[in-house]
Amino acid sequence: MSPVQLEYLFAHALPSASTSGKTIVDVGSRLGAVLYGAYEYTKAAKIVGIEFSKYFVDVQQQIVSKYNLGDRIELVCNDVRQCKPILSTANVIILNNVFQFFAMSIVHKAIWQAIISSLQAGTILVTVPALHDQLLQAKVPIDVVGEGKLVEITPSLDALPPRFGAAHEELAVFHIYRVTKTLSSQ
């Protein structure tokens, strides 16, 4: 995620009430950009990165240690499918292009079923690309938005503060949802 996307997401698109004192989880945290952005722009109590590559977790750990970010950032080296307790206690879950390039399609469905079945009412989900497209691609037979289990709350880009003006295209990729009912996978 780029610097302007991080500022937009955490300082503008997500209301501060949804992050202050709360737990933000980034699924597939790679180099940790989302974690550092959340640290800088929010008052989240806990920011968790889930990443199954030990190489990338080690890189994140070095940065967290070097810049003393360990008071709020926690790193979990695991497959997200094994992290249901973390997902089910998160207030905000971010999935930025996580599985498009990295998971074989055969495991896509299992990953999404694990995520969907962990979501609790009230949780905010941020996805790139749109959730509907990802579930379709993963062949998960559930239209969570269409069935009213999630509502899309992505803010309009019409009234962006001037500092974001030139980045309109980059910011239009985000889809933000609020879970309205605890879900079960199918």
Ligand X SMILES: C[S@@+](CC[C@H](N)C(=O)[O-])C[C@H]1O[C@@H](n2cnc3c(N)ncnc32)[C@H](O)[C@@H]1O
Contact segment (CB under 6 A) with ligand X among 52-60, 134-142, 145-153, 169-177 equals: 52-60
| Among positions 10, 36, 39, 56, the unique one binding ligand X when judged by CB under 6 A | 56
Q: Is 33 in the site for ligand X (CB under 6 A)?
A: yes
| Closest residue to ligand X, based on beta-carbon distance | 28
Q: What are phi and psi of 121, to 5 degrees?
A: -55, 135
**Total binding residues for ligand X by CB under 6 A?**
21
Shortest CB 56 distance to ligand X, Å:
5
Burial track 162-174 (b if 16+ CB lie within 10 A, e otherwise): eebeebeeebeeb
- Which string of x and - marks every residue 157-176 that binds ligand X (by CB under 6 A)? --------------------
Q: Is 55 in the site for ligand X (CB under 6 A)?
A: no
Q: Are 24 and 42 in contact (CB under 8 A)?
A: yes
Q: Return the closest-CA partner of residue 49 out of 60, 37, 63, 65.
A: 60
Contact segment (CB under 6 A) with ligand X among 96-104, 115-123, 142-150, 157-165 equals: 96-104
Greatest CA span in the chain, whole angstroms? 46
Q: Is 103 in the site for ligand X (CB under 6 A)?
A: yes
Q: Return the closest-CA partner of residue 36 out of 78, 65, 77, 79.
A: 65
Q: Is 105 in the site for ligand X (CB under 6 A)?
A: no
Q: Are 169 and 123 in contact (CB under 8 A)?
A: no
Q: Where are the beta strands (DSSP E) in the chain?
A: 23-27, 46-51, 73-77, 92-96, 124-128, 150-152, 175-179
Q: Is 79 in the site for ligand X (CB under 6 A)?
A: yes
| Residues found near ligand X in the complex (CB under 6 A) | 1, 26, 28-30, 33-34, 50-53, 56, 79-80, 96-99, 102-103, 111
